């Protein structure tokens, strides 16, 4: 990130210089220009959710100009964003999430939104965990949109009725369900060898095995020594077991393909963030008839979160007033409900009536709001570590799962090595 940071800093300084000249020459009121939004919401539910925001903005004189880059987990979108910035053409708004936000803020690319946050009393209306995430060095650096729950297990109701079981609450029940599903020629669990999807499943299993305290040492404090704990070994063994239950040949399926298999009765369960629930609903599936949603076994009363945010980027186009207007509009109570209903996530606001949410969302929101629940950040979705550490962990898990010669203790050693301690200035 260091090399990138200094490169970005130079480009950014040049951009600021150019923009001052342009602004001085034109010296006129800002015209109502479209805002160019770079994001990775391209599936049916993601599209519907983004369209809610687009429609709200249009009704208020702001035009959402879409720059959507397909690719689950934003792998491609983040690369495109970096290259656009290096080419001197940053988007006005970008889906930047978690710790990546602070990296961009450090190079001066993010427009602080302190005025919007103050006017709208975000410190009172938003969850404290959400405020912490978007606050950096006394600045508000992004607009929070929704809270996803990573430790979500979706199951096919028809198939579970056929095997005569309730959804699993323990790993022992999970294994019984898996055997029964196999007995009726159904693959127990949707699986993909995309590294980010493996990492998404792994962190839920890890939380289940370790509990929130050790999880925090491993993922938040990133204590290398903690990675040698036997509970981590158990989580890695379980991860391998889950993969062996689910796949014969290594395949990189998209997460929407996994959700499609669940809906079409080809697999019994799926462990994925609740955006998969949003997708099933966007296809017309019913959470009371077709599929159900519970937490990953062993993670009751725990919320493994990933919070989607939009950052307003400083650009030569002088869009500050429009960007602030957009920030104020999309964080409002109605926008939050409309967006999250499609996205599968839950509002970042505390002033929501949980009865207006579907049962999966209601459990997510009330757990996130509960003082007795544990909220822990997702590594796979950038809430706990930067892009480099996250990718190194995902690649290590990929190596472990695709190389039968690597055992769990070797994977532990490698994970301990790639997990670096958080930067001291955070």
Which residues are at the interface with ligand GAL (CB under 6 A)? 40-41, 46, 72-74, 97, 148, 255, 275, 306, 308, 381
Nearest approach, Cβ of 256 to ligand GAL (angstroms)?
9
Nearest approach, Cβ of 42 to ligand GAL (angstroms)?
8
Tokens representing 44 are 């049916």
- Residue 397 contacts residue 411 (beta carbons within 8 Å): yes
Q: How far apart are CA 35 and CA 29, in angstroms?
A: 16
Beta bridge partners of 131: none
Q: How far apart are CA 283 and CA 278, in angstroms?
A: 9
Q: By Cβ distance, which residue is nearest to ligand GAL?
A: 72
Return the number of the residue (306 or 367) whose C-beta is nearest ligand GAL.
306
Alpha-carbon distances of 397 from 35, 151, 191, 254, 376, rounded to whole Å:
38, 18, 14, 18, 20
Which residue has 């010296």 as its token pair? 27
Q: How far apart are CA 184 and CA 188, in angstroms?
A: 10
Task: Please choose, from the candidates 236, 231, 245, 359, the residue with its C-alpha nearest in 3D space to the C-alpha of residue 295.
Answer: 359
Nearest approach, Cβ of 75 to ligand GAL (angstroms)?
9
Nearest approach, Cβ of 261 to ligand GAL (angstroms)?
16
Nearest approach, Cβ of 50 to ligand GAL (angstroms)?
10
Return the number of the residue (306 or 322) whose C-beta is nearest ligand GAL.
306
Alpha-carbon distances of 237 from 75, 150, 205, 240, 406, rounded to whole Å:
27, 20, 10, 5, 11
- Strand ranges, E, within 162-203: 187-189
Beta bridge partners of 144: 309
Residue 423: strand, helix, or coil:
coil
Nearest approach, Cβ of 97 to ligand GAL (angstroms)?
6
């Amino acid at each position: 990130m260091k090399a990138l940071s200094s490169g970005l800093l130079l480009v950014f300084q040049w951009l600021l210089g150019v923009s001052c000249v342009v602004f001085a020459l034109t010296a006129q009121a800002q015209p109502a220009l479209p805002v160019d939004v770079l994001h990775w919401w391209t599936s049916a539910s993601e599209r519907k959710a983004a369209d809610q925001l687009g429609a709200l903005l249009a009704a208020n004189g702001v035009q959402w100009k879409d720059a959507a880059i397909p690719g689950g987990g934003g792998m491609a979108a983040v690369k495109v964003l970096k290259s656009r910035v290096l080419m001197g053409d940053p988007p006005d708004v970008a889906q930047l999430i978690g710790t990546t936000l602070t990296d961009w803020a450090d190079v001066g690319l993010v427009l602080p939104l302190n005025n919007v946050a103050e006017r709208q009393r975000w410190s009172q209306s938003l969850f404290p965990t959400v405020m912490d995430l978007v606050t950096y060095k006394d600045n508000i650096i992004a607009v929070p949109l929704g809270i996803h729950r990573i430790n979500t297990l979706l199951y096919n109701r028809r198939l579970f009725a056929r095997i005569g079981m309730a959804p699993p609450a323990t790993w022992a029940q999970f294994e019984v369900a898996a055997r029964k599903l196999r007995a009726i020629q159904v693959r127990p669990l949707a699986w993909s060898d995309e590294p980010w999807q493996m990492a998404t499943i792994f962190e839920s299993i890890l939380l289940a095995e370790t509990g929130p305290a050790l999880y925090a040492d491993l993922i938040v404090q990133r204590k290398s020594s903690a990675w040698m704990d036997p509970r981590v070994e158990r989580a890695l063994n379980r991860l391998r077991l889950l993969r062996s239950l689910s796949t014969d040949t290594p395949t990189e399926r998209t997460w929407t393909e996994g959700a499609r298999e669940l809906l079409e009765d080809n697999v019994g369960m799926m462990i994925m963030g609740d955006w998969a629930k949003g997708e099933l609903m966007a296809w017309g599936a019913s959470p009371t008839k077709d599929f159900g949603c519970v937490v990953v076994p062993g993670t009751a009363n725990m919320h493994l979160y990933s919070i989607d945010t939009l950052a307003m980027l400083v650009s030569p186009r002088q869009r500050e007033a429009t960007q602030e207007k957009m920030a104020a509009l999309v964080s409002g109570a109605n926008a939050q409900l409309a967006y999250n209903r499609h996205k599968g996530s839950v509002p970042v606001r505390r002033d929501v009536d949980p009865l207006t949410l579907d049962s999966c969302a209601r459990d997510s929101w009330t757990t996130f709001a509960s003082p007795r629940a544990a909220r822990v950040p997702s590594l796979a979705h950038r809430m706990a570590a930067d892009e480099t550490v996250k990718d190194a962990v995902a690649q290590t898990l990929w190596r472990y799962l695709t190389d039968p010669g690597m055992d769990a203790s070797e994977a532990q050693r490698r994970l301990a090595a790639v997990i670096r301690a958080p930067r001291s200035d955070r």
